[in-house]
Amino acid sequence: MKYIFKMGMISACIGLLFSCKKQVSPLSEDYYKKGETIYFIPGGNGFERSSRKMEADISSFSVIKNVYARDKNTIYFMGCPQQLVDAKTFKLKENIPVDQHHVFHFTGSPSATGACSKQQLTVVKGADPETYTTLYDQLQSLSKDKTQYFYQSLPIDVDYKTFEILNENFVKDKNRLYVVTQKGINPLQYTTEHVKVVNSEYLILDGKKLLYYEPYQGIGVLEVALPTVNKIRLLDRKSIIIDQLVIILGKRFPFLDVDAESFKILEGIGGNSFWSGDKNHIYYNGQLLSEADPKTFEVLKRAVAKDAKQIFVGNKIFEGPEVKSFRSVDKAKVNHDFEDDLGNKYWYRPKEGGAELIPVKKK
């Protein structure tokens, strides 16, 4: 009983400590004062969960903005004193941390309880603090100053005067084309005399080559040869039709008899879609579903569809429900995903490559 009482008193004291903290400035919800001590508490969470007790000079302490603060001698980031920053000239220039001589960035994992040695701003080498600016609204992780471009805060070897952002995956200068990867901006062996930007994913070079970048599974840049480029139709970001070629995720659709004029994505986006079709055929995950009737086919939910005679779960025909009345339902209102007029009910369960329908047992 004494132990329970003692623990209750400790909890009450912690709660009292939490309730007595005072936000230092409306510029940040992360810095608080309790008595004669400053604490860094992300979002004002309780002291017992994640906080940093600081050794800041309370009489001169002020918030710069968000996780940045200062006192008469020191700049603080995430509540940690910064070793490389000139405190007298430090400022946030359009949210970019700079001082008189340097631009700074943070490459670690933000933590209110981790060692301050790992919560340090580091110098963007060679960057000019007066002219440095981010270009994140055009291309994520790209920035520049008056003489050079930076990607992920590292200088990149491009011709500054002719450098141009083409789309999310490609940039160029007068010398060559570059692909934008998660690790860097890498040169490609293509000239850039005649470049047509199709959308955020695709480029056409010299009217003869379609380029697409696939960052996953080590696939890289894909090239499709184009016989002519008279008509372009965009289905979505990943799917494009050029003349009679259907191209999804940078690859030609595998069926040569596909009707490009009537082809469309029926569900999802590009390579992440289950269903596509033209006036003659239905395709599931890029595979021909010869049993499906394109005239009456409809997608019900993700991997589940039907036509006038059959229900399909992926590339398999699903037996049991009445086809005509089989439908998807609002799961917010009922405890299942599909039903028919005969009282059959089913839950939808995703699985690798598709899904399965689980019958709901009748009461």
What is the C-alpha to C-alpha distance for residues 218 and 183, in angstroms, rounded to an integer? 13
Q: Which residue has the higher pLDDT, 11 or 227?
A: 227
101 DSSP 8-state letter: S
Q: Are strands 345-351 and 354-359 parallel, antiparallel or unpaired?
A: antiparallel
What is the C-alpha to C-alpha distance for residues 72 and 188, in angstroms, rounded to an integer? 50
Tell me, what amino acid is at 57? Answer: D
Of 268, 301, 304, the C-alpha closest to 289 is 304
CA angle 251, 257, 258 (to 5 degrees): 60
What is the C-alpha to C-alpha distance for residues 10 and 37, in angstroms, rounded to an integer? 20
Q: What is the separation, in whole angstroms, between the first and last Cα of the chain?
A: 49
**40-45 mean pLDDT:** 88
pLDDT of residue 192: 86
pLDDT greater than 50 at residue 15: no
pLDDT of residue 6: 43
pTM summary value: 0.81
Taking all residues of the chain, what is their mean pLDDT, rounded to a whole number? 91
362 DSSP 8-state letter: P
Question: Residue 47's pLDDT band (boundaries 50, 70, 90)?
Answer: low
Question: Residue 331's pLDDT band (boundaries 50, 70, 90)?
Answer: confident
* Token reading at 70: 């200062």
Q: How many alpha carbons lie under 13 Å from residue 360 in its C-beta half-sphere?
A: 14
Query: Which residues fall within 8 angstroms of residue 201, CB to CB, at 6 or more apart?
Result: 167, 168, 169, 212, 213, 237, 238
Provide the Cα torsion 201, 204, 210, 213; round to 10°. Answer: -30
The pLDDT tens digits of the residues spanning 98-122 come to 999 999 999 999 999 999 999 999 9
- Which residue is associated with the tokens 């009217």? 207
**336-359 mean pLDDT:** 93
Question: Residue 49's pLDDT band (boundaries 50, 70, 90)?
Answer: low
The pLDDT tens digits of the residues spanning 233-291 come to 999 999 999 999 999 999 999 998 999 999 999 988 766 788 999 999 999 988 999 99
Helix and strand numbers (H, E) in the chain are 1, 40
pLDDT of residue 273: 80
pLDDT of residue 19: 55
CB 340 within 8 A of CB 352: no
What 3-state class would DSSP assign to 119?
A: coil
